[in-house]
Structure 1
Amino acid sequence: MKSKIFILMLAGIIAAASCDNNNSTGGPGQNDGTDTTQTAPFDSTLAFNPADLPEEPVFEIHTNMGTITIMLYEDTPLHRDNFIKLASERFYDSLLFHRVIYGFMIQTGDPLTKDPDKSAFYGSGDAGYTIPAEILPNHTHKKGALAAARQSDLANPKKESSGSQFYIVQNEAACVQLDGEYTVFGETLDGFDVIDRIATVRVDSQTSRPLSDVRIIKITPVI
């Protein structure tokens, strides 16, 4: 069975989070134009046109507990472009925050969470591919940081990221040991209170899954 994507945590982090945790987790391009090159028409089935976005696009993650506004970094282009692609395809619409640990982080992006019959496998789904690591020292796990989940070093020594699962940092102190281990590709601009609100929901003590669904409604660009 496909191993679950997870965020590695030292015992100290687990203690700091006061949570028993054993489930988890763990692109794109363009060419230059000439007078004879035709631009591909916009695909009207997409939620928005990725070509309209700036180098560091801003998105609103609308959830049933409020809206989190994020900005994606231009110096992590593989992760940025992948997130843009998935958001434009409405991939994240209706997905659950399937793993929530107060004092640590909130995690989402598993497409299996659209199907209640697959609840036993929540945390193991993704987009079907990985993304090469873009780990940069200037992007740390500060509060509100947006980072890609991944499999363990044993299964994934190159630290490649999940194609779709990501987490948002709630507590910087508990996540500092993740710096240099996971790709941080964005940050929160607004909605820190929503992150805290999601982090405080009651969860299953074994899976860290919220007992009441916390769901992404949609992700939209701020243009």
Structure 2
Amino acid sequence: MKTTYALVIVLVAIVIAGWVYIQRPAPEADEVLHLAAPEPTVAAAIDDTKAWPPELDNLPFEPIRTVVQVTIKTNKGDITVALDGSRAPLTVGNFVFLAQENFYDGTAFHRVIPDFMIQGGDPLSKDPAKRDQHGTGGPNYTFPDEINAASYGLDKLKLSDAVAPQQLEQLTPEAREMTVQQFYEAQGYHYTAKVDSLPLKRGMLAMANSGPNTNGSQFFIITASEVPHLLGKHTPFGIVQQGMDVVDAISKAETDERDNPLDPIIVEDVVVHEGPVPGLKTENQGS
């Protein structure tokens, strides 16, 4: 049986100005879609000769290539996460820097969706009066994605095998021959072979963004068993070791029409622990 991503490949540019947005899970197969694929282009070859991470000017943090353990302390309980710098050194360096600067203290999980994910890290979420702006804030800088498309097989998966039948009908013959990686590269995504990306599944911590290479401070923790529509679009950089029950409870909070909890769920502190991290595993975490 052919396995498809069934409506999870977005073939139309969805621009929400200023928003750091995690696309919801795919709609039901009988929903009407309006799709517009970009003009097919030849994907640029990944330059595997460059050092990773690249040297970037004007960033206030240094890459971290080791595993670091942090505890996200919330008013609903603690979430302990192992951050894997060998898989995403820039991303881990950024998160640790912001934690040590107390950047996250007082922020809220401003978007929670049951059986999908919880999203936080926006400094604007500290102010309840700016509720309509929650999801638009960041640290006033951005840094690149750290994703290996080959880790998810996107370099070999044909676009025609990854979409639902009604999407397939709207693809040009040229687009049908593209891989998912080539399709995403045509949208501006860039990939590196210098890292082996962590899986995107339940218990994983990843960066929220507003498009390619727009990482800042916002992050999300996955509660779904898998999120194939996010593969290749978000940098995973850690896994929950303890407190997945807290994550699940947060994801089920009562929310408004924008998935913002009515009763604020506050990050009180993010503690960076010293010393080695034992037993880092990437299989699904329980609690």
TM normalised by structure 1 equals 0.76
1:65 is aligned to 76
What are the superposed Cα offsets for residues 93-141 of structure 1, whole Å, 9 maximum, x if unpaired?
A: 0100000000100000110011122111111111111110101324111
Q: Is the 8 A contact 2:144 2:215 kept in 1?
A: no
Cα RMSD after superposing both structures: 2.1
Once the two structures are TM-superposed, the CA of residue 9 in structure 1 deviates from its matched residue by 3.4
2:269 is aligned to 218
1:170 is aligned to 223
Percent identity over the alignment is: 37
Give the strand-richer structure, 1 or 2: 1
TM normalised by structure 2 equals 0.59
Once the two structures are TM-superposed, the CA of residue 10 in structure 1 deviates from its matched residue by 5.0
Q: Is the 8 A contact 2:117 2:220 kept in 1?
A: yes
2:142 is aligned to 130
Gaps of 5+ in 2: 1-15, 29-58, 152-196, 275-287
From 193, 199, 202, the counterpart of 1:140 = 199
1:81 is aligned to 93
What are the superposed Cα offsets for residues 131-176 of structure 1, whole Å, 9 maximum, x if unpaired?
A: 1010132411121111001114xxxxxx214310000001123x22
Q: Is the 8 A contact 2:74 2:269 kept in 1?
A: yes
Secondary structure of the corresponding residue to residue 201 of structure 2: coil
Q: Is the 8 A contact 1:148 1:161 kept in 2?
A: no
**Aligned residue runs from structure 1 range 199-210, under 5 A:** 199-204=251-256, 206-210=257-261
Secondary structure of the corresponding residue to residue 97 of structure 1: coil
Distance 2:117 2:25 in 1: 14
2:126 is aligned to 114
Once the two structures are TM-superposed, the CA of residue 74 in structure 1 deviates from its matched residue by 1.6
What are the superposed Cα offsets for residues 49-79 of structure 1, whole Å, 9 maximum, x if unpaired?
A: xxxx982110000001111100111221100
Once the two structures are TM-superposed, the CA of residue 2 in structure 1 deviates from its matched residue by 4.9
Count how many residue pairs are aligned between Structure 1 and Structure 2.
181
Q: Is the 8 A contact 1:107 1:168 kept in 2?
A: yes
